[in-house]
């Protein structure tokens, strides 16, 4: 499979899983978290499909497209290893949906990162909340659920508390 195929599969799966997770959590009141703003494409999509929900972004350095830049008061600026514990102090276990796309091009490094960050994400999840990730996560108390039909297995993962 070419790198182009892998990239397309990741994008298609992100959109499919975000649409699915937004629908499944639509009755929940808690905040939505976007981990890794990047260009802001998935953030922009999340704003489109969840216009009435409070979306907070976690990013070490904001450099997104101007159309996809969150307001300052919705940004946790800095390394997620520092900002996720701060978010827990502020919100507790209330997140209805967390999307994480923090990885780079090195699959092994992404896997190590996912193992390290999983224990900081799990406590933020509300009962019934969903986590959508581009990388496999390592949770003790969240279970992996089925992907929607239009997502490609292995390119995206969904976990539920």
Q: Rule CB under 6 A: which residues touch ligand SAM?
A: 36-42, 58-61, 79-80, 101-102
How far apart CA 129 and CA 57 sit, in angstroms, is 17
Cβ proximity to ligand SAM, 42 vs 96, nearer residue: 42
Q: Is 145 helix (H, G, I), strand (E, B) or coil?
A: strand
Give me the helix-helix angle, 80-91 and 107-121, nearest 10°: 20
Residue 62 CB, nearest approach to ligand SAM (Å): 8
Counting beta carbons within 10 angstroms of the beta carbon of residue 69, is it exposed (0 to 12), middle (13 to 18) or buried (19 or more)?
A: middle
Residue 10 CB, nearest approach to ligand SAM (Å): 9
Residue 127 CB, nearest approach to ligand SAM (Å): 26
Residue 26 CB, nearest approach to ligand SAM (Å): 21
How far apart CA 122 and CA 160 sit, in angstroms, is 10
Query: What's the first-to-final CA gap in the chain, in angstroms?
Result: 33
Residue 151 CB, nearest approach to ligand SAM (Å): 15
How far apart CA 6 and CA 154 sit, in angstroms, is 10
Dmax of the chain from CA atoms? 43
Residue, CB closest to ligand SAM: 38
φ/ψ of 127, rounded to 5, equals -60, 125
């Amino acid at each position: 499979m070419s790198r182009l195929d892998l990239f397309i599969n990741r994008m298609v799966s992100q959109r499919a899983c975000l649409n699915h997770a937004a629908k499944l959590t639509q009755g929940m009141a808690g905040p939505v978290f976007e981990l890794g703003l990047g260009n802001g494409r998935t953030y922009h999509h999340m704003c489109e499909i969840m216009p009435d929900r409070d979306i907070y972004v976690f990013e070490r350095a904001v450099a997104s497209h101007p159309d996809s830049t969150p307001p300052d008061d919705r940004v946790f600026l800095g390394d997620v290893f520092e900002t996720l514990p701060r978010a827990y102090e502020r919100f507790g276990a209330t997140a209805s949906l967390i999307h994480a796309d923090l990885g780079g091009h090195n699959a092994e490094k992404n896997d190590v990162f996912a193992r390290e960050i999983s224990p900081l994400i799990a406590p933020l999840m509300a009962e019934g909340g969903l986590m959508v990730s581009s990388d496999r996560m390592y949770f003790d108390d969240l279970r992996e659920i089925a992907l929607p039909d239009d997502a490609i297995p292995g390119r995206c993962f969904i976990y539920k508390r």
